[in-house]
Amino acid sequence: MKMHEKILIIDFGSQYTQLIARRIRELNVLSEIYSYDKIPKINNSYSAVILSGSPFSVLDKNSPIVDLEKIRGKVPLLAICYGAQLIAKISGGDVLPSKIREYGRANLSFVDSQCKLFSKVSKNSQVWMSHGDTISKIPNSFQIIASTNNVDIAAYKINDEQTYGLQFHPEVYHSKEGKKILQNFLINICNFSQDWTPNSFVEEKVLEIKKTVKEDKVILGLSGGVDSSVAAMLLHKAIGDNLYCIFIDNGLLRKNEYEQVLSQYKDMGLNVIGVDAKEDFYNALNGISEPEVKRKIIGSVFINIFEKEAENIRDVNWLAQGTIYPDVIESVSATGGPSSTIKSHHNVGGLPKHMKLKIIEPLNTLFKDEVRRIGKSIGISSKLLDRHPFPGPGLGIRIIGAITKRKVEILQEADEIFISALRKESLYDKVWQAGAIFLPVQSVGVMGDERTYENTIVLRAVESTDGMTADWFHLPHNFLASVSNDIINKVHGVNRVVYDISSKPPATIEWE
């Protein structure tokens, strides 16, 4: 396998660490993230290092630290926010609590145009600040290379070494020329050749799978979504007929999805086994309302069924999953660092300890947009690749509260009307993810001359690039009025439809 130039990202627990990795991969450079307390040896393995931000303050007694002597001066180093403050403080500078916590947009008022890091960056470029401390003084061996009206030391460079500090976050979308700054660091300073591409990923991942799995057989759960589809084709390229794809009808799929998925994958040449397990899931979920418990039950039943099916296939040792990076990030700290858990995912937090099959997850370091690029490079149709993300637990986390077969039927009908309307009005491809949610709320209504007391459906549509952040999509009012009317008239049991206009953060895309 080809040895790529790599950059090491040291994670201090910032919510943006994975975005740093994503931006770097967009520039065709291979990046790896490690927690600050699990740093591998630099040696010749890494050509550069980035220090992330952190929810901690460098002034805290137990704030995370690293041995900078093993890094500084040996490879180019870019320190962001907390990382920049840490270097300044350890080197003899001063870091003080900000009089006003600086969070949000700011504009550079000064840029050292001679500095390689800011080559062709506008002197008034917009950047994104998110810090409660400020670097008030830097050592004499440091020089200021950027300022804002409120922050004198918005960026610095250490003399006689390729070490740079940024108080702002170049990885965040709101830093308008942040990608350019990262590119300057990677190309102008680190001299990366930008050889990590979708094609190289596929080639190397196929070799890795062959080396890992060898002659063993693998079973993979298909959902009809992008992630499991790309995972299946990667595995198929690596091990061919030793891949057994299983599609489980958990009773929580979209309307008619079970039949559509089976035929779709058989057309792709995959060996697919269909399993009707609706009643197994309904029975296990009976009376369960707490969302985390529902997720874990769905994951547990899912694995148990897979183990049962595996008994019918000789020599199966592996369970493949389409887990992607945001799943891992939101379920646990991606590198074992200090970031907080948001929620568990059925294919991350729901795996029982007694499970007999070993796990292989070929996509667990990729974001959704990267998965789509990989899929395109191996010839998967755009119709499948452009399909909206759909949660692994399916409608189980779009039915708030306890799940019943009748609630599933109501939600399936409402969801079908919504998604079909988006396609009909050429809005589907403009939305990143959409779906309907069933609320445990009944409200009074009037239909004809009769009083009703029926259920409420929420419509959700967002725009995003990777699912880490999202904004609600501004669907036309006449479209929403038409969909609402259709759902109320055609779905028995619904008399009220509302539209969710929350962004992520502070909300999440799914309701549970």
Q: How confident is the model over 241-266, as pLDDT tens digits? A: 999 998 889 999 999 988 887 887 88
8 A C-beta contact, residue 457 and residue 496: yes
DSSP state for residue 247 in the 8-state scheme? E
Annotation marks residue 81 as catalytic: yes
Burial tier of 109 (Cβ tally within 10 Å: 0-12, 13-18, 19+): middle
Mean pLDDT of 355-360: 78
Least reliable range by pLDDT among 36-40, 234-238, 332-336, 457-461:
332-336
pLDDT of residue 118: 97
- pLDDT grade for 27, boundaries at 50, 70 and 90: very high
Annotation marks residue 171 as catalytic: yes
pLDDT of residue 340: 41
| Catalytic hit among 169, 236, 345, 346 | 169
Interval 276-313: pLDDT, tens: 999 999 999 999 999 999 999 998 898 888 778 878 88
Return the higher-pLDDT residue of 139 and 99: 139
Three-state DSSP state, 395? helix
| Catalytic hit among 5, 81, 131, 346 | 81
Q: What is the 3-state secondary structure (H, E, C) of 337-358?
A: CCCCCCCCCCCCCCCCCCCCCE
| Catalytic hit among 171, 177, 416, 512 | 171
Mean pLDDT of 42-49: 87
pLDDT at 1 over 80: no
Interval 429-462: pLDDT, tens: 999 999 999 999 888 887 665 677 789 999 999 9
**Phi-psi region for residue 310, left (φ > 0), alpha (ψ -120 to 50) or beta?**
alpha
pLDDT at 492 over 90: yes
Average pLDDT, the chain: 87
pLDDT at 334 over 90: no
CA atoms of 156 and 160, how far apart (whole Å): 13
pLDDT of residue 386: 83
Mean pLDDT of 412-425: 97
- % the chain with pLDDT above 90: 55
pLDDT at 325 over 60: yes
- % the chain with pLDDT above 70: 92
8 A C-beta contact, residue 156 and residue 88: yes
Least reliable range by pLDDT among 311-315, 493-497, 501-505:
311-315
Mean pLDDT of 130-156: 93
Annotation marks residue 309 as catalytic: no
**Phi-psi region for residue 234, left (φ > 0), alpha (ψ -120 to 50) or beta?**
alpha
- pLDDT grade for 341, boundaries at 50, 70 and 90: very low
pLDDT at 351 over 50: no
CA atoms of 196 and 176, how far apart (whole Å): 24
pLDDT at 490 over 90: yes
Cα distances from 138 to residues 86, 152, 154, 162, 309, in angstroms, run: 11, 11, 11, 16, 63
Phi/psi for 10 (5° steps) reads: -95, 120
**Nearest to residue 443, comparing CAs of 482, 498, 406?**
498
Tokens 């874990």, located at residue: 296
